[in-house]
Amino acid sequence: MERPLTELIDLREGPLAREAYEHAGGYEAARRAVCDMPPREVIKTVEDSGLKGRGGAGFLTGMKWGFVPAGDDAPRPRYLICNADEMEPGTFKDRYLMEGNPHQLIEGMIIAAHAIQAEIGYIFLRDEYHRSAEALRRALAEAREAGYLGDSVFGSAFSCDIHLHTSAGRYICGEETALLNALEGRRAVPRAKPPFPPVVGLFGKPTIVNNVETLCCVPHIVSKGSKWFRQLSLTSDGGTKIFGVSGRVKNPGLWELPMGTPLREVIEGHAGGMRGGYRFRGVIPGGASTDFLVEEHLDIPLDFESVQKAGSRLGTGTMIVLDDRTCPVGMVHNLERFFAQESCGWCTPCRDGIPWIQKTLAAIEAGRGRPDDIELLHMHTRHLGPGRTFCAFAPGAMEPLQSALKYFDDDFRRHIADGRCPYNNHQTGNSNGNHHH
Amino acid sequence: MATITIDGQSYEADPSANLLQAALTLGFDLPYFCWHPALGSVGACRQCAVRQYRDEEDTTGQIVMACMVPVADGLRCSIVEPEAAEFRAEVIEWLMSNHPHDCPVCDEGGECHLQDMTVMTGHCKRRFRFPKRTFRNQYLGPFINHEMNRCIQCYRCVRFYGDYAGGSDLVAMAAHNHVYFGRHEEGILENEFSGNLVEICPTGVFTDKTLKHHYSRKWDMVSSPSVCSHCAVGCNTIASTRYGSVRRILNRYHHDINGYFLCDRGRFGYTFTDAADRLRRPLLHPDRERDVETVAEPAEAMKRIREIFSEATGVAGIGSPRASLESNYALRNLVGSGRFSSGLPRIEHDATTALLEAMRNAPDGPGSLRDAERADAVLILGEDPNNTAPRLALALRQSVRNEPIRADAGSRIPRWHDRAIRDFVQDRKGPLFIAWPASTRLDDLAAGTHRAAPDEIARLGFAVAHAIDPQSPAVTDLDDSASDLASRIARALKEADRPMVVSGTALRSPAIIAAAAATVHALRRTGSGGSSFLAVAPEANTIGDAMLEGAPLETLEQQLESGEVDTLVILENDIYRRLPAPATDRIISKARRIIALDSIATATTNRADVVLPAGSFAESDGTFVNHEGRAQRFFQPLPPAGDVLEAWRWIGRIAAETGTSKQNEWDRLDRVLTALARDCPELAPARDAAPDAAFRANGQRFPRAPRRFSGRTSILSHLSVHEPKPPEDSDSPLSFTMEGHSGQPPAALVSHYWSPGWNSSQALNKFQSEVAGPARGGDPGARLIPGNGPNERPSTAIPAPVPDDDQTLLAVPCYEVFGSDELSARAPAVAERIPKPYVALAPTDAEHHGLDSGDSLNLLIGELRVSAPVRLDPKLPPGLCGIPAGMPGWSVPHLPARASVVT
Amino acid sequence: MLSEEEKREIEAELPHYERRQALCIEALKIVQKHHGWVSDEAVRDVGEFLGMSPHQVDSVATFYNLIYRRKVGRHVIHVCDSVSCWVLGCDAVQDRLCEILGIKPGETTDDERFTLLPIPCLGACDHAPAMLVDKDLHGDLTPDNVEALLERYT
Ligand SMILES: Cc1cc2nc3c(=O)[nH]c(=O)nc-3n(C[C@H](O)[C@H](O)[C@H](O)COP(=O)(O)O)c2cc1C
Ligand code: SF4
Ligand code: FES
């Protein structure tokens, strides 16, 4: 089984240095793309590969690049941004790629920058990833030194530099337009779409934002071709995918697997199944803002379309497992507290609706729930859906809640009827308050 | 026009609008918060939700925010669809989860947009059962009260204050449901447009602190349409009163002038009408030299005036740029045009005359604030708008966005889409050039500034004209940087679709005005169609006064000298503010008798034999002619009390009393206007500034009091249970009661904005022909100076370069939004904001004289000694010093002038 | 006043951005690196340096979680309270930390040695529960092993 993105990674050895990376064939794709391939051809190749964004929304990468206005009178400069904010709870895949093989990301960015003719690139990294920052900083310096960044990349007419920007912490910064505001030194409130970033982006100029994993796929697509990339997958969405599992499984971790690998194989095979004494109850398949899947879904293939059909989203592909001794209400409360906390405060439903949800869940969990609360929660999931809030944050926040209400309805009702949480392993302790500023 | 379908009915709508705007224009009640007609859409509050359908087949549709949907042919949507309606009610429920529900003690209660929208959505039952989050409030200065718990986080305040008005000290802080709107630390809000927060805020977070001192509910106040009396822009206002005093000023929409916004001088300056030094009774001064004054009955004062007139060898009249057109005209008529003075010293008089000439000659007539807002290249020649015509500065601040927006070829963002436009435009600014001796508060927008002496500013202007069109004479000996700047300005103006030149009398320089006119004409000659000249004048009726063509004050001095005249009638003019005290003293002492009319006690009224109490704007009907030559009528919200009468009415009585005219000939405003129209054809359209007193709708007057007025029978019940007869109004079609026509009056007669379901000032939407468009039935006022004046070549006397002079400084006037205006400076809240006396000095000059910031500087200007602490202005060129004009207690008139430093 | 070093560090970032004000967050972080937190005075200084009002700087500063507008201890413990860590018992870990330090979340110990701040997911979910002390990531925490971990931070 091919693992193009991760085969060179060994975290015990630290980040792969440039020499080792080049020894394994690194930077050849970038050199070829920049020196020999016209931008349109690069875009075409990526389009044909069927690469879909790995940041959660699953948009076709090549198609997105094609939206950047081309031609001599198109606005300049253009920007390429790598979204390395990775603050979605349960998600830890980008960190692995950056700490393990930073040059792979840089190479992907060089190719992407060339494809859209961007002269400036940024890596927008969350502040807590100190090790990633170190690895990237060193790798950027190495690449610059080698002439792969800066003026005339690989000796070509193309010039591009990449800067590392570390964030100051806010989940909403990962939303690509909020990210633009953060990069401009403003409050990270999302922007209105349309216009979309490929047309009006950073500093008002055409901008492409891509996830770390997405960009890491690019060198491999260029070097081995779009057909090869498609056949890596078991389904129609091309490539491999880094899947992760956390929760009470025997062997939590990350694995690069073919797109379309069945959910059961990931949880029971790679993650080793549930720890002794625990049973599987459900899983959030792609980070905090995706719907729960349960027992009946274990055999679905993990690709964008299939997971959607099952009523959830592939999201980031990093899943959080709920076991039978953990309170689902408590788990959803934890998630909604996160969302209430991280709402940017721009639009009403999210800013004032999610705290209400969170307080209601806290009350239920603490045995102070009321029968009407369930309907109130349902009402919120309806009214915080797509289109009703300014950005996708709040609809994302509703996904685990609405599916929990569906699959764990009994648990909610028991809490309210009994006036206490029937699971005694989780007390609502300190972490119920709002302590971030 | 596009055809759209709302709830199955089809309508015509403007394709450049968004769906919310269109729905409101069509008369639908669709709730909203974050959208504002002047600020555009940002989609934050999610209140304006409707269901949109793809086409006729689509029955599912999706919920969208109307404010973010462009109107397009074939657009289909439903407002009444149950889920959209439920969502709108839910938005209110969310907003109310933390709202304190303190309407009974909230100043906004009864005119609250949040209340209106709550009722509109039908939300009424509270389900949120958890504690509310609370905030701490901040002290924000004398104008604005802060009550953060009422906030619904619509972001309008910071969008207005920061994005629109350029203020940098009110921001959004923190995140999630802790978002807080305030300052980094508490303190006075700096921006001179802060008062608009009162109307921008849809609830009671930002309220009018001056109103709070004598609070009354909207429904308990009697209001009338008024015109701001604090500068020449002439913003339209609503003045509201109760118990005989003005309680607040609100914006009255005028499409071409103030739109939705006023400046703080205009909003908070009104309390001068209630100040202790208001004149309310006639006064006699038996001995003008000694400080003895007796209060007289009107008849007694009239008797004295008759005596004075019968003894007089000749009577001259001193008019005033702050008195109404009617009062000035009445005075001119009383004394004869040969003995009528504009009330201005020659230095100001000549500049004003030059300005009026330039306005008459301007190819398209004088420009309006709306023109300024739409200009895409602007040159300001010798004005400091933030301080001389504040509302203009706000308009110019918007103008710099036009050019960058025009550059948006690819994305074609609709103009109302504020959020996206700002992301696109970023910090890019269109061309705005400022020529003014010192720094200005528009400098942050300027593509270039020229800080120089008045004559050098004029020279720059002529150089621009020459660079545009070589037919304009060249300026010799211009230094390189000024020539470079001139060509940059010329290029920007020529490339623009709507270039504008702003100039006025601030530096009392006819040459500057001529240079501005030359530039406008050069642009016109070289084919720029939309070139526009915007004239700035200092006072509410400077232009109206100038159009009566009186003589400068100095001419009167000669007439007194020659003995041709020995008696003066001084109308609402403190001539001590206009001429240096020694010169004024000479005039006063040469006049054997002086009759003064004013609403306030001044140094001049103190030296008059007879003082008659004139109405302020609050007790008068009359007309001001604004900076663009627009005659605008203001109506008294208060029936004159005590002995107070409109000045024109007093003068009419004097005329009748002294036999200069028939008894009572002018006891009606309309009669004065008819005579004026007969006498002065150019001013004749002033009659049409508003409907005359006989105007009725269905035989009914237009009420000043709102329908819900509860004071009618109770207001005097502590004195008497008998309902007093309401005062009558012989001069306007307005009544002082709640009775009368219940429909909308013509715009000139709008006393309050109210419409069923709309108790806040947002009801204004219902008074416009389309949202943000002209008033229904047309905006009020009458333009007196039409376009296409004689296309005369303007004067081309180019001043010589200002010679170097080590011995003296050139003292130029500078202005303060709070302080330079005589009337507003008497309002306590404004007085708190007046800077301490200062003289602005360039650091090099200060060093030269061994002075540091704050040190006392003594200047000799002609016969006048001026002493004030130094304020260092690094932007001021060496050789100049700036002295604030018109400051209460230490006004230094008659500048520019040479000043020598005395030690 | 910003120190020369702070100014140098901020200026080094300047060429990477199209407008000076874009450095706002970067500058605040540089100041914080040197002082541990961002004081009112620092807000004013950064504003002056970047051509922003202190209000505008604070508007940005107060938005972000990791700009400390209050004084923190010599070491900041960021204990993850997000979902994976919660499933694996971060509440108990946090309670234990509070007990050891004698403070509540959001507080600083009297000796100014530690500040305890909960933080969203640290991206260490496979080693949950996790915490970050200064720049060091610690995973697989239990109420029993945290005390020893803190010893090396003096
Ligand atoms: C609230 C929110 C948070 C997000 N956080 C991230 C993130 O941390 N990393 C990321 O790559 N994408 C994130 N996204 C998705 C981005 O908006 C964007 O779609 C993505 O970066 C595009 O890259 P891709 O096309 O390569 O997936 C987030 C979206 C939302 C709505
Ligand atoms: S849904 Fe609204 S408040 Fe929530 S993060 Fe998006 S824009 Fe901000
Ligand atoms: S008015 Fe439309 S979202 Fe606020």
B574 and B709 within one domain: yes
Q: Is residue B233 part of a domain?
A: yes
Mean pLDDT lowest among A69-73, A269-273, A274-278, B167-171 = A69-73
What's the rounded Cα separation, in Å, for the pair B142 and B829? 5
What's the rounded Cα separation, in Å, for the pair B269 and B143? 10
Residue B664 pLDDT: 67
Task: List all residues of chain A from 372 to 431 with a beta carbon under 8 Å from chain B.
Answer: 372, 376, 379, 383, 387-390
- The three-class DSSP label of residue B309 is helix
- The three-class DSSP label of residue A281 is strand
B148 min Cα distance to partner chain C (Å): 16
Q: Where are the alpha helices (DSSP H) in B125-279?
A: 156-158, 197-200, 209-212, 264-268
Bridge partners of A243? A255
Q: Are B55 and B277 in contact (CB under 8 A)?
A: no
Which tokens is B805 given? Answer: 């002079």
Q: Is residue B138 part of a domain?
A: yes
Mean pLDDT lowest among B449-458, B662-671, C139-148 = B662-671
State the CB neighbour count (10 A cutoff) for residue C84. Answer: 35
Residue B291 pLDDT: 74
A202 and A86 within one domain: yes
State the CB neighbour count (10 A cutoff) for residue B4. Answer: 23
Q: Which of B222, B256, B274 is the last residue of a domain?
A: B274
CB contact under 8 A, B91 and A348: yes
pLDDT at B660 over 80: no
From the list B890, B852, B815, B885, the residue with the least C-alpha distance to B384 is B815
Q: Is residue A43 part of a domain?
A: yes
Query: What is the Å distance from ligand 3's center to B35 Cα?
Result: 5
A141 and A29 within one domain: yes
From the list A280, A285, A334, the residue with the least C-alpha distance to A311 is A285
B629 and B734 within one domain: yes
A395 and A349 within one domain: yes
Bridge partners of B768? B775
Q: Is A146 in the pocket of ligand 1 (CB under 6 A)?
A: no
Would residue C140 be called left, alpha or beta, if left means φ above 0 and alpha means ψ between -120 and 50 degrees?
left
- The three-class DSSP label of residue A271 is coil
Task: List all residues of chain A from 257 to 316 with a beta carbon under 8 Å from chain B.
Answer: none
A259 and A168 within one domain: no
User: Own/partner pairs for B888-891, CB < 8 Å, 24+ apart?
Assistant: B888/B819, B888/B822, B888/B825, B888/B826, B888/B831, B888/B834, B890/B837, B891/B576, B891/B577
From the list A153, A164, A165, the residue with the least C-alpha distance to A118 is A153
For chain A, how many structural domains are there in total?
Answer: 3
What's the rounded Cα separation, in Å, for the pair B47 and B121? 9
**pLDDT > 90: what percent of chain C?**
99
Residue B529 pLDDT: 67
Contacts of B474 (CB under 8 A, 6+ apart): B463, B466
Residue of the CA atom closest to atom 8 of ligand 2: A344
> What is the pLDDT averaged over residues B329-352?
96
Mean pLDDT lowest among B119-128, B166-175, B850-859, B888-897 = B888-897
pLDDT at B792 over 90: no
Q: Is residue B801 part of a domain?
A: no
Q: Is residue A357 part of a domain?
A: yes
From the list B453, B385, B441, B384, the residue with the least C-alpha distance to B881 is B453
Strands B630-634 and B702-703: unpaired
CB contact under 8 A, A131 and C137: yes
Residue B726 pLDDT: 87
Angle ∠(B278,B281,B282) on CA atoms, nearest 5: 115
| CATH code where residue B845 lies | 2.40.40.20
Q: Which of B697, B718, B738 is the last residue of a domain?
A: B738
Instruction: State which residues form the domain around A384.
Output: 328-418
Q: Is residue B548 part of a domain?
A: no
Amino acid found at A45: T
B861 and B835 within one domain: yes
Q: Is the ipTM of this complex over 0.90?
A: yes
Residue B756 pLDDT: 94
What's the rounded Cα separation, in Å, for the pair C95 and B178? 26
pLDDT at A436 over 70: no
Residue B793 pLDDT: 62
Q: C135: buried, middle or exposed (CB in 10 Å: 19+, 13-18, 0-12)? A: exposed
A113 and A25 within one domain: yes
Residue of the CA atom closest to atom 6 of ligand 2: A391
Of A176, A218, A341, A342, best ligand 1 pocket probe by most atoms within 8 Å of the beta carbon: A176
Question: Of how many residues is chain C composed?
Answer: 154
Strands B377-381 and B432-435: parallel
B265 and B134 within one domain: yes
From the list B685, B684, B701, the residue with the least C-alpha distance to B746 is B701
Residue B718 pLDDT: 84
B64 and B136 within one domain: no
CB contact under 8 A, A341 and B417: no
Query: What is the Å distance from ligand 1's center to B61 Cα?
Result: 27
> What is the pLDDT averaged over residues B90-113?
97
Q: Is residue B752 part of a domain?
A: no
B304 and B211 within one domain: no
- Kindly indicate the confidence band of residue A416, based on its pLDDT and cuts at 50, 70 and 90: very high
Q: Are B442 and B393 in contact (CB under 8 A)?
A: yes
Q: Which of A305, A323, A341 is the last residue of a domain?
A: A323
For chain B, how many structural domains are there in total?
Answer: 5
Spell out which residues of chain A touch residue C49, defining contact as CB-CB under 8 Å: none
pLDDT at B869 over 50: yes
> What is the pLDDT averaged over residues B11-40?
97
Q: Is residue A226 part of a domain?
A: yes
B61 min Cα distance to partner chain A (Å): 11
Q: Is residue A433 part of a domain?
A: no
> What is the pLDDT averaged over residues B567-595?
95
- The three-class DSSP label of residue B592 is coil
Domains recognised in chain C with CATH numbers: 4-63 (1.10.10), 75-150 (3.40.30.10)
Residue B724 pLDDT: 80
Spell out which residues of chain B touch residue C54, defining contact as CB-CB under 8 Å: 184-185
Q: Is residue B422 part of a domain?
A: yes
- Kindly indicate the confidence band of residue A425, based on its pLDDT and cuts at 50, 70 and 90: low
B715 and B599 within one domain: yes
Residue A73 pLDDT: 86
pLDDT at C62 over 60: yes
Q: Is residue A314 part of a domain?
A: yes
- Kindly indicate the confidence band of residue A437, based on its pLDDT and cuts at 50, 70 and 90: very low
Calculate the CA B683 to chain-centre distance: 22
Residue B369 pLDDT: 98
Query: What is the Å distance from ligand 2's center to A350 Cα?
Result: 6
- Kindly indicate the confidence band of residue B286, based on its pLDDT and cuts at 50, 70 and 90: confident
Q: Is A214 in the pocket of ligand 1 (CB under 6 A)?
A: yes
Candidates B93, B177, B415, partner chain A, best to mutate (most A CBs within 10 A): B177
User: Sheet of A79-84: strands edge to edge?
Assistant: A161-166, A120-125, A79-84, A207-211
> What is the pLDDT averaged over residues A271-299?
97
From the list B734, B663, B637, B667, the residue with the least C-alpha distance to B694 is B734
Q: Is A177 in the pocket of ligand 2 (CB under 6 A)?
A: no
A211 and A258 within one domain: no
A144 and A77 within one domain: yes
What's the rounded Cα separation, in Å, for the pair B735 and B776? 21
B329 and B255 within one domain: no
A131 and A160 within one domain: yes
CB contact under 8 A, A352 and B62: no
Residue B788 pLDDT: 65
Q: Is residue B569 part of a domain?
A: yes
pLDDT at B433 over 50: yes
The model's pLDDT over B372-404, given as tens digits with 9 standing for 90+, comes to 999 999 999 999 999 999 999 999 999 999 999
B76 and B109 within one domain: no
Instruction: State which residues form the domain around B246.
Output: 103-116+128-274
| CATH code where residue A149 lies | 3.40.50.11540
B/e letters for A133-161, b = 16+ CB within 10 Å, e = fewer, are: bbbbebbbebbeeeebbeeebbeeebebb
Residue B725 pLDDT: 85
Task: List all residues of chain B from 170 to 199 with a beta carbon under 8 Å from chain A.
Answer: 172, 174-179
Which tokens is A43 given? Answer: 């875009």
Q: Which of A204, A231, A258 is the last residue of a domain?
A: A231
A355 touches chain B (CB under 8 A): yes
Calculate the CA B684 to chain-centre distance: 24
Residue B791 pLDDT: 63
> What is the pLDDT averaged over residues C105-116?
97
The pTM is what?
A: 0.96
DSSP line for B447-473: SEEE---HHHHHHHHHHHHHHH-TTSP
Q: Is residue A427 part of a domain?
A: no
Q: Is residue B383 part of a domain?
A: yes
Residue A432 pLDDT: 40
Task: List all residues of chain A from 320 to 339 with a beta carbon under 8 Å from chain C.
Answer: 320-323, 326, 330-331, 334-335, 338
> What is the pLDDT averaged over residues C93-114?
97
CB contact under 8 A, B184 and C19: no
Spell out which residues of chain C touch residue A180, defining contact as CB-CB under 8 Å: none
What's the rounded Cα separation, in Å, for the pair B140 and B167? 14
Q: Is A350 in the pocket of ligand 2 (CB under 6 A)?
A: yes
Q: Are B71 and B414 in contact (CB under 8 A)?
A: no
Q: Is residue A437 part of a domain?
A: no
B519 and B371 within one domain: yes
> What is the pLDDT averaged over residues B735-756?
94
> What is the pLDDT averaged over residues A5-23?
96
Residue C146 pLDDT: 96
pLDDT at A427 over 70: no
B561 touches chain A (CB under 8 A): no
Strands C75-80 and C114-119: parallel
Torsion of CA B407, B412, B415, B417, to 10 degrees: -120
B692 touches chain C (CB under 8 A): no
Helix axes C24-35, C4-13, angle to 10 degrees: 150
pLDDT at A221 over 90: yes
B64 and B186 within one domain: no
Which tokens is B375 given? Answer: 């200009």
A305 and A332 within one domain: no
Q: Where are the alpha helices (DSSP H) in B188-243?
A: 197-200, 209-212
A407 and A341 within one domain: yes
**pLDDT > 70: what percent of chain B?**
98
For residue B49, give the ligand 3 atom closest to its CA. Answer: 2
CB contact under 8 A, B173 and C59: yes
The number of CA neighbours under 13 Å toward the Cβ of B720 is 4
Q: How many CB pairs under 8 A join A and C?
A: 171
Q: Is residue A171 part of a domain?
A: yes
The model's pLDDT over A226-262, given as tens digits with 9 standing for 90+, comes to 999 999 999 989 999 999 999 999 999 999 999 999 9
> What is the pLDDT averaged over residues B695-699?
96
| CATH code where residue A246 lies | 3.10.20.600
Which tokens is A423 given? Answer: 């699971």
A22 and A94 within one domain: yes
B793 min Cα distance to partner chain C (Å): 45
pLDDT at B795 over 80: no
Residue C50 pLDDT: 97
Cα of first residue to Cα of last residue in chain A, in angstroms, is 46
Contacts of A371 (CB under 8 A, 6+ apart): A416
Residue B720 pLDDT: 83
Q: Which of C23, C84, C120 sits opposite A87 (nearest CB)?
A: C120
C126 min Cα distance to partner chain B (Å): 29
- Kindly indicate the confidence band of residue B719, based on its pLDDT and cuts at 50, 70 and 90: confident
B478 and B430 within one domain: yes
| CATH code where residue A351 lies | 1.20.1440.230
A282 and A154 within one domain: no
Q: Are B841 and B871 in contact (CB under 8 A)?
A: yes
B178 min Cα distance to partner chain C (Å): 10
